[in-house]
């Protein structure tokens, strides 16, 4: 019997989810079948994340479970892909003897080879990083759906001192603009309604002088009924040209994920973030002037080495000044090999936790207040399907990436745009009444006979 069933689990950032689709594309081309059942698989792969210690611990836990499957059937191959493969290759394969296969983010083309080696009883290891690999020509395997991730650049050259990404994903490199446009054309033909352009730092996209604004503009023009989103932006490279491009295209979403990390200039310098808070706030002001109604989310780290109470207050202060719609908030986690790892992790765990919980509480209050202000307003949603709790309600997202719920109505399904009037809100969800079916611009749909 051919051993060709592969099961993949994905952890971490959206880049990893996009990579899993590339991996599935590569494996399907070689005759592998994707299965959703680990018991049934000949090859079990975990696409992993190293960004914080707790991500890695979770994956080690899962590996422990999966090894039990291997005890039952020793012919199964278990492999690690992604950032942990890059960071912990020796530990995983030699010291702990936990897996048969370790393949980093730039070696997925050779995955079928490594799997064959593993089937033959050897250890398959591919962890070289590349300066050029973008998987430009690989057609990712996607189930038909509404939203797609498209990775447009890989790696990161920013070297924030806390971050392991430049070491696990290597140097920045961009896909060609044409290949991204072609991918969106295919998505459009398949009925997709949303594409998110991904990169660790999308604003440094550069395809022979064509920058991220050029890419966004080309992406938005493929099919004006497809919403285009992007993430993640670094404040250093968010140009006015880019802001004007977002303002100009209706289907470029008015939503920017702009990690601030800390509100203290001293800490920002220690993090090598290359901007000051004054520069950051000025950028937010400019974006709000150029793109009326734009919303922001951010990433924040509490307890970076040497962070004082005053630094922490400065973070709370910047949150109040910007009033983010949402935030991803983390305790600092020392990562071996990074510059910050050499500085003593001197903020005690309980202090980090307390500061983090103050940050989370404040963000919840701000999100709640912002959402309350939306009551009585109209919003256009892209309908994603039934709400998680009940089939009597449909859920969708606003242009600014907020989840909104409204009573299900006949004839309205996943993939439709609708206009709703908000009548209630929590910090995480808007609730509304359906007004009418519309197009992406909010124009009522006229029924044709
Ligand atoms: N500890 C805590 N948070 C981190 N991040 C990156 N590295 C670390 C770390 N060592 C956070 C940053 C980044 C997000 C993706 O993860 O806020 O923007
Ligand atoms: Fe890490 Fe900084 Fe690059 Fe983001 S910009 S991936 S935080 S090094």
SS3 category, 228: strand
User: Where in the chain are the domains?
Assistant: 5-126, 147-372, 378-447
How far is it, in rounded angstroms, from Cα 278 to Cα 272?
Answer: 16
The predicted model scores a pTM of 0.95
Residues with Cβ within 8 Å of residue 84, at least 6 apart in sequence: 48, 49, 50, 56, 59, 92
For residue 201, report the distance from its CA to the centre of ligand 1, in Å: 13
pLDDT at 449: 43
How far is it, in rounded angstroms, from Cα 1 to Cα 75?
Answer: 12
* Angle CA 47–149–22, to nearest 5: 45
Given the DSSP bridges, would you call strands 378-386 and 417-425 parallel, antiparallel or unpaired? antiparallel
Give the other-Cβ count within 10 Å of 64's Cβ.
10
Residue having the nearest C-alpha atom to atom 12 of ligand 1:
299
Render each residue's pLDDT in the chain as its tens digit; 449 residues: 678 999 999 999 999 999 999 999 999 999 999 999 999 999 999 999 999 999 999 999 999 999 889 889 999 999 999 999 999 987 887 777 789 999 999 999 999 999 999 999 998 899 999 999 999 999 999 987 999 999 999 999 999 999 999 999 999 999 999 999 999 999 999 999 999 999 999 999 999 999 999 999 999 999 999 999 999 999 998 999 999 999 999 999 999 999 999 999 999 999 999 999 999 999 999 999 999 999 999 999 999 999 999 999 999 999 999 999 999 999 999 999 999 999 999 999 999 999 999 999 999 999 999 999 999 999 999 999 999 999 999 999 999 999 999 999 999 999 999 999 999 999 999 999 999 999 998 999 865 54
How far is it, in rounded angstroms, from Cα 55 to Cα 160?
Answer: 19
Residue having the nearest C-alpha atom to atom 18 of ligand 1:
299
How far is it, in rounded angstroms, from Cα 408 to Cα 400?
Answer: 22
Residue 160 Cβ < 6 Å to ligand 2: yes
Question: Which atom, in ligand 1's list, is nearest to the CA of 340?
Answer: 10
Whether 152 contacts 215, CB under 8 Å: yes
Long-range contacts of 18-21, Cβ-Cβ distance < 8 Å, separation of 24 or more: 18/140, 18/149, 18/150, 18/151, 18/198, 19/47, 19/81, 19/82, 19/105, 19/108, 19/151, 20/47, 21/140, 21/141, 21/142, 21/149
Separation in Å, CA 271 to CA 85, 168, 232, 286, 445: 25, 18, 17, 24, 50
Separation in Å, CA 176 to CA 136, 156, 198, 210, 215: 7, 17, 14, 9, 9
Residue having the nearest C-alpha atom to atom 4 of ligand 2:
200
Q: Considering the domain 147-372, what is its CATH architecture?
A: Alpha-Beta Horseshoe (3.80)
Q: Which CATH class is domain 5-126?
A: alpha beta
Residues in the chain: 449
User: Is the Cα torsion angle 218, 223, 225, 231 positive or negative in sign?
Assistant: negative
* CATH number 2.40.50.140 given to 378-447: yes
Candidate of 12, 15, 52 to mutate for ligand 1, largest count of ligand atoms within 8 Å of Cβ: 52
SS3 category, 121: coil
pLDDT at 1: 62
Q: CA torsion angle for 169, 174, 180, 181 (degrees, to 10)? A: 160
Residue having the nearest C-alpha atom to atom 5 of ligand 2:
158
For residue 161, report the distance from its CA to the centre of ligand 1, in Å: 10
Candidate of 87, 234, 236, 270 to mutate for ligand 2, largest count of ligand atoms within 8 Å of Cβ: 234
For residue 330, report the distance from its CA to the centre of ligand 1, in Å: 7
Residue having the nearest C-alpha atom to atom 2 of ligand 2:
160
Give the start-end residues of each E strand in 242-312. Answer: 255-257, 295-302
What lines the ligand 1 site, CB under 6 Å? 51-52, 162-163, 259, 261, 299, 301, 330, 332-333, 335
For residue 156, report the distance from its CA to the centre of ligand 2, in Å: 6
């Amino acid at each position: 019997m051919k051993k060709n069933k592969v099961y993949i689990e994905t952890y971490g950032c959206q880049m990893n989810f996009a990579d899993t689709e590339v991996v599935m594309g590569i494996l399907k081309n070689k005759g592998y079948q994707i299965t959703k059942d680990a018991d049934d698989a000949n090859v079990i792969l975990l696409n992993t994340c190293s960004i914080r210690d707790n991500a890695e611990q979770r994956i080690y836990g899962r590996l422990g479970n999966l090894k039990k499957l291997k005890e039952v059937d020793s012919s199964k191959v278990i492999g690690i892909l992604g950032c942990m493969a890059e960071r912990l290759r020796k530990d995983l394969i030699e010291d702990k003897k936990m897996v048969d296969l370790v393949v980093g983010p730039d070696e997925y083309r050779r995955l079928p080879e490594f799997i064959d080696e593993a089937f033959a009883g050897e250890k398959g290891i591919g962890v070289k990083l590349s300066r050029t690999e973008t998987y430009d020509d690989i057609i990712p395997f996607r189930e038909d759906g509404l939203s797609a991730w498209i990775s447009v650049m890989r790696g990161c050259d920013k070297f924030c001192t806390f971050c392991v990404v430049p070491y696990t994903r290597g140097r920045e490199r961009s896909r060609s603009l044409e290949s991204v446009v072609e991918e969106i054309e295919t998505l459009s033909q398949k009925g997709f309604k949303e594409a998110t352009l991904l990169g660790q730092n999308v604003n440094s996209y550069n395809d022979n002088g064509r920058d991220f604004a050029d890419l966004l503009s080309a992406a938005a023009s493929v099919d004006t009924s497809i919403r285009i989103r992007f993430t993640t932006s670094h404040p250093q490279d968010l140009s006015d040209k880019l802001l004007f491009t977002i303002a100009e295209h209706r289907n470029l979403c008015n939503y920017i994920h702009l990690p601030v990390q800390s509100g203290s200039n001293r800490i920002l310098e220690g993090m090598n973030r290359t901007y000051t808070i004054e520069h950051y706030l000025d950028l937010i002001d400019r974006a709000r002037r150029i793109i009326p109604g734009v919303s922001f989310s951010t990433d924040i780290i509490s307890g970076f080495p040497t962070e004082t109470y005053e630094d922490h207050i400065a973070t709370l202060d910047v949150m109040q000044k910007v009033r983010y719609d949402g935030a991803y908030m983390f305790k600092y986690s020392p990562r071996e090999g990074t510059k910050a790892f050499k500085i003593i992790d001197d903020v005690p765990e309980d202090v980090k936790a307390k500061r983090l919980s103050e940050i989370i509480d404040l963000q919840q209050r701000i999100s709640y207040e912002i959402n309350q202000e939306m009551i009585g307003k109209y919003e256009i949603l892209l309908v994603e399907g039934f709400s998680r709790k009940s089939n009597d309600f449909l859920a969708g997202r606003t242009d600014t990436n907020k989840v909104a719920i409204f009573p299900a109505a006949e004839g309205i399904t996943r993939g439709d745009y609708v206009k709703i009037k908000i009548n209630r809100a929590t910090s995480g969800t808007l609730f509304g009444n359906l007004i009418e079916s519309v197009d992406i611009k909010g124009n009522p749909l006229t029924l044709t006979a």
